[in-house]
Amino acid sequence: MWDPRELQHRVKEVGADLRSVPYFMRKRGVLCLRLGPVDFRAANALKQELLARGGDAVVHGGAIAGTVYRTRVILMGTPGQLRSLQEKLAHMPYFGLEEVRSGLKAALDNLDISNWEVPLPGGRVLSLGRITKVMGIINLTPDSFFPGSRHQGPDGALETAERMLSQGAHVLDLGAESTRPGSDPVSPEEELTRMLPPLRAIRREFPEAVISVDTYRSATARACAAEGADMVNDISGLSFDPEMARTVADSGCALVLMHIKGRPKDMQQNPTYRDLLGEISDFFEHQMDLAERGGIPRDRIILDPGIGFGKTYQHNLEILRQLEAFSTHGRPILIGASRKSTVGIATDSKDPEDRLEGTLAITSLCAMRGIALVRVHDVEENVKTIKMIEAVKEAGL
């Protein structure tokens, strides 16, 4: 539910009269779905149909008079009111309303999904959705931004994996190349040299563990899948390597499809967005379509909005404040904010070593909002935080 500042910002963004904010405030405790620019006649029809059902729509102030040709729209209504609107739009095949109806139906259908069975190789599944689950980070690099997460060689990685699994980690995420802002890529050969021995050791010792590999290279993903990896965590969301979709499809691995703007070397050089949440959502839809064309069914995809990857501090906070914006895609959401600079700025903690409390606050937020998976350095502390939140959520039920 949008707070007053958020609602005023969105009303202004649409171009509506700001004097309408107090009126819309009375209706903010309902679903608010944003549409891209539509024909002004469609916008007027949507507003009238929702008003007739007890809902409303925010449109540009010039839409009624027709002084603007297209306008963004915020649909405001209960699920029942919006379902009724969707049904009525089936009888209104004009002004682009059929496309609106299709998108509205998909969004409402997806909002009803809260549990997922993500297929993994070998017939196993990763169950997500009832409670927030934890992905533990195992960095096989000498230069990751948080020194406490660096584990070089199979022995160190194996020890960390054992500890994380005993503490309640549901997924282990192995990464052999630092993708911190400003980092340079390593060679494909070096990535595999770092990745494969620990992967083999962990798979051998923990055959039932769910193992993810953090890579954007199809060759690395292919080699890791052959050694028992269950999931590919691609920070590029299939945008860096044109062979990645087919590789993941052939492997049977699940896919974490992350949003990024730019590349790690330059992604924090003044990233800008016209519509942050809308652009991330458009990226997800486009890349999921690409994944499906490459042979990856949507039920194997997890979405990650990419905290810190081509986003400013304010961008990251907006994503965290509006986590529900991505639920219309119908896929589980992963949030990876552990000890990142956003936590450091918010808590005045320059050293990543001092960012645990801020990270736990974000994990609490994610658990309250029903986020499926959090990617963290400190498994035990985050698992306990989620248990506390779940206890509060379940109290009296």
For residue range 329-345, list pLDDT tens digits in order: 999 999 999 999 999 99
For residues 308 and 352, is the Cβ–Cβ distance under 8 A?
no
pTM above 0.95, yes or no: no
pLDDT along the chain (397 residues), means of 10: 74 90 75 92 97 96 94 94 96 97 95 94 96 96 63 84 97 90 85 95 97 97 98 97 98 97 85 93 97 97 97 96 94 97 96 96 96 98 97 81
Return the pLDDT at 25. Answer: 72
CB atoms < 10 A from the CB of 335, how many? 26
Instruction: Report d(CA 302, CA 132) in Å as an integer.
Output: 13
Range list of H helices, 206-272: 218-226, 244-251
Query: Rounded distance, CA 335 to CA 386, Å?
Result: 14
Q: Which of 344, 378, 348, 382 is nearest to 366 (CA)?
A: 382
Q: Give the pLDDT of residue 6.
A: 76
Report yes or no: 281 and 259 within 8 Å, Cβ to Cβ: no
Beta strands in 142-193 (DSSP E): 171-175
Burial of 288: CB neighbours in 10 Å, binned 0-12, 13-18, 19+: buried
The pLDDT of residue 56? 96
pLDDT of residue 28: 66
Task: Give the span between the Cα atoms of 318 and 10, in whole angstroms.
Answer: 13
Closest CA to 72 of 261, 286, 277, 271: 277
Q: What Rg value do the Cα atoms of the chain yield, rounded?
A: 22
Q: Which two structure tokens, joined as six digits, stand for 330?
A: 């119908």
CA–CA dist 100, 86 (Å, integer) = 8
What is the structure's pLDDT at 394? 85
CA distances from 328 to 31, 108, 215, 341 (A): 11, 7, 27, 28
Residues acting as catalytic residues: 340, 375
Sheet architecture: strand order including 31-39: 31-39, 70-77, 56-58
Distance in angstroms (rounded) separating the CA atoms of residues 341 and 72: 33
Closest CA to 310 of 258, 244, 257: 258
Domains of the chain: 4-111 (no CATH), 126-394 (3.20.20.20)
pLDDT value of position 148? 62
If residue 233 lies in a helix (H) or strand (E), which one and from where to where? strand 231-234
